[in-house]
Chain A
């Protein structure tokens, strides 16, 4: 119950955020940040229970027949992520209030940010595969709106679309993978899947499942070759970059792989895929960061690198690797979040994020500088910071893995590059002589330097007293690799171990890389990645898709209503002709006498149709058609379907009005290329075929089982005597819900098409 309350309260806060901002701009972010803060405390109080044998869980059947349920479960791994999400969320909301103080769309920004928080919480607490997927997609959607927040900017829109395309396509793969898993395992409950582990790992579908799940995880967690969306996502306002694209959302893929490790992990294919992709991403991301000078982009590439490290650890799958994962993931969230927020503060004060133009800001911005320094030291993995402990564990895990030497060299190289990057982003803007851009810079407001400093200090405290987080991290490791993961000794000083030697070596190498940053940048620029990299491939396929769409649309939807009708009717007639040709023959028709009044109605129908066909005036044709429609509803009355008749009358009325409006607004041009003979032939064929099909349908004995069941239960079970309506709003309400959504979406489309353009509204 507590878990559900936590989810719901974050959802409600997201919905209220725009209102709160409207009431009070200044106090909004303070009051809103109280919610994630209290959720953090609440979640922290659940830790003892989560680490006991039976973690807190919650279960409500949703669609029991399909195995869909709202099930939540908070074990060590989920809770570690959830605490990161709410804890960071508190600081980010505070920071965003100050960072976007002058933005007219602060309300919507905070709303999306909090909606993201709610969906991310749902993702890590989910115990049902489909619920997890729904939250997964919600994070994608909220990320889209946060990246595209400055929707006037072309590149923000492009970047938002890019992230959406890549992660949503991966999401589709993930959905398929999860469904296959559910099918093989016979359950969609994640915590029960491990019982079917052997079947999932070695069955005939195992490779398909693995590839589909990896497709989802690798796109979300920006692994090579899907990494390119993450640096472009830096078009988002900095608070979103720090929160989504460093600390939480990009970890969702890693979280998913960690969650599924006990179920899918350990196979040769799993190990090969994760270790290879992880290592390439780790080294590649760190290397690519040297090709850029924009503070946020450099940080983004460094994030890509760390995500690669985390995937690599999951590929190793040893208890040691599972321990390293939790520690390193936490350390990274703390220091990377802090560095991003620092980047925002520097941008705010100095007006630029270009590294070559920044220098010597330490005197002007002492607090920001200390936050940056602390975070950079954690990133470089220097004692006594938490990043150091994480790095030691990573080295340990890769050294003990089979084939460890190559891995250890690889990880060492990756870390050395990260050390160089840490020096670039955390030290170089603040040390040295004061640069041109920093001439009249002042320290940012406390709300802009407080959150990054808090995060950086957290990293320091956890480094000095790692015992605080020890039990939770051990619980997380247990969730990934079983009971062996539990014996987690977090200490700063292990004595003179090989890992310490590696650390020292990578630090020295990192210093060398930092010194060589300029030649490195030139080399990378000379490679012209933008001409052949995956990012360019994406651009090419997008423009190809657009050309294809232009071609198809030009062919099919040229704006001629005549052509649309023609194609539709032809298609219907063609589809009908198939089965009718297959079973030729005049069906046993209905034998009933036609009453006089029925004959009269039919005659009216035929007359009105004839008039509609004959007339040359658009208005007359419209009126004739409405007579046809009204007569039809009269037929419904005669056959005893009052609901249908009523709806038909009103729909007919509105249709006529719509047409009249359109005709009065847009000139009606007779479209070319029509021949009355061809039209007549097509109409008669289609009409004949439909009549034939109807005769066939009515000749078959009516299936009354369902109708009788509905009729019998309508009054007793659905409290209604109108069967039509009880079917609509009760028996088959899910269909109605779908229809309602379709209607709303379609009318939104019309609204957006016809809305006066922004330019005109401002004029």
Chain B
């Protein structure tokens, strides 16, 4: 693989892929897409970048360590599930609100969207975690017997 070609293509492709993944995430409620596939797409875009450059570059690009992304995702999922409790509704009961946009349309926002964002974050964190670990880690040594 000629690195120059790959890098040139990647530099233009990764932003497009990232935008596409966000589109998938946001539109998931009414059309094919959603947090899971959006997260996978984001990871795929970043992994393409990783192949063209190296782990350090992608780490700098993402800024947040994958494990933290994942923890944040779990927290967002839990938070969106707990939000209804504030208004005295049961856990996980969806709550929706309408926001009027200046150009005359209304946007409906709800806890399920937030939930999807949480799923997205967990998926990105998990897949990037896998790949980073494989890229820079060492093979697991047999037997972690010394501390149990």
Q: Which residues of A contact B (CB under 8 A)?
A: 60-64, 70, 154, 157, 161, 546, 642-643, 646-647, 650-651, 653-654, 657-658, 661-662, 665-666, 718-722, 724-726, 728-730, 733-734, 736-737, 740-741, 743-744, 746-748, 750-751, 753-757, 760
Contact = CB atoms under 8 A, between A and B. Distances in A.
B91 interface: yes
Given A719-B29, A744-B70, A748-B129, 18 more contacts: A60-B85, A643-B32, A643-B33, A643-B34, A643-B37, A650-B37, A657-B47, A722-B32, A722-B33, A729-B35, A736-B115, A740-B77, A744-B122, A747-B127, A751-B129, A753-B133, A756-B137, A757-B138
B119 A740 contact: yes
Interface string B58-86: 00000000110011011001100100010
A718 B81 contact: no
A718 B88 contact: no
B126 A743 contact: yes
B90 interface: yes
Contacts of A642: 32
A726 to B, nearest CB: 7
Interface residues of chain A: helix, strand, loop or mixed (majority): helix
A725 B26 CA distance: 11
B40 interface: yes
Contacts of B129: 747-748, 750-751
B124 to A, nearest CB: 11
Interface residues of chain B: helix, strand, loop or mixed (majority): helix
Given A653-B44, A725-B33, A740 B74 contact: yes
Interface of B: 24, 28-37, 40-41, 43-44, 47, 66-67, 70-71, 73-74, 77-78, 81, 85, 88, 90-92, 94, 96, 108, 110, 112-113, 115-116, 118-119, 122-123, 125-127, 129-131, 133-140, 145, 147-148
A737 B28 contact: no
B116 A754 contact: no
Contacts of A647: 36-37, 40
A723 to B, nearest CB: 10
Contact of A755 (B96, B131, B133): B133
A665 B133 CA distance: 11
Contacts of B36: 647, 728
B112 A729 contact: yes
Contact of B140 (A60, A63, A70, A753): A753
A700 B96 CA distance: 39
Contacts of B70: 744, 747-748
Contacts of A651: 40
Given A725-B116, A730-B112, A646 B33 contact: yes
B30 A720 contact: yes
Contact of A60 (B32, B78, B88, B119): B88
B90 A63 contact: yes
Contacts of B136: 756
B112 A733 contact: yes
B40 A725 contact: no
A719 to B, nearest CB: 5
Given A740-B118, A748-B67, A750-B129, A722 B40 contact: no
Given A725-B28, A740-B74, A747-B129, A654 B47 contact: yes
A253 B86 CA distance: 32
Nearest to A553: B143
4 smallest beta-carbon distances between A and B, as pairs: A754-B137, A754-B133, A747-B126, A720-B29
B92 A734 contact: yes
Contacts of A61: 90
B134 A661 contact: yes
A136 to B, nearest CB: 20
23 contacts: A643-B37, A650-B40, A650-B44, A654-B47, A658-B134, A666-B139, A718-B94, A719-B29, A720-B29, A721-B29, A725-B116, A726-B29, A729-B112, A734-B92, A740-B73, A746-B126, A748-B67, A748-B70, A750-B130, A751-B129, A753-B133, A754-B134, A755-B133
Contact of A733 (B92, B133, B147): B92
A212 B34 CA distance: 44
Nearest to B145: A546
A656 B16 CA distance: 21
Contacts of B37: 643, 646-647, 650
Contacts of B33: 643, 646, 722, 725
A60 B90 CA distance: 7
A666 to B, nearest CB: 6
Nearest to A69: B90
Contacts of B85: 60, 70
A728 B90 CA distance: 18
A759 B144 CA distance: 15
Contacts of B90: 60-64
A162 to B, nearest CB: 11
Contact of B44 (A643, A654, A724): A654
Given A718-B94, A729-B116, A743 B137 contact: no
Nearest to A740: B122
Given A646-B37, A647-B40, A743-B123, A754 B138 contact: yes
A63 B85 CA distance: 12
A661 B135 contact: yes
A722 B116 CA distance: 13
Nearest to B84: A60
A157 B147 CA distance: 7
A150 to B, nearest CB: 13
A758 to B, nearest CB: 11
Contact of A756 (B41, B81, B138): B138
Nearest to B123: A743
A743 B122 contact: yes
A285 B89 CA distance: 49
Contacts of B77: 737, 740
Contacts of B110: 719
B115 A725 contact: no
A161 B135 contact: no
Residue from the set A60, A657, A740 with the largest chain B CB neighbour count within 10 Å: A740
Contacts of A757: 138
B1 to A, nearest CB: 12
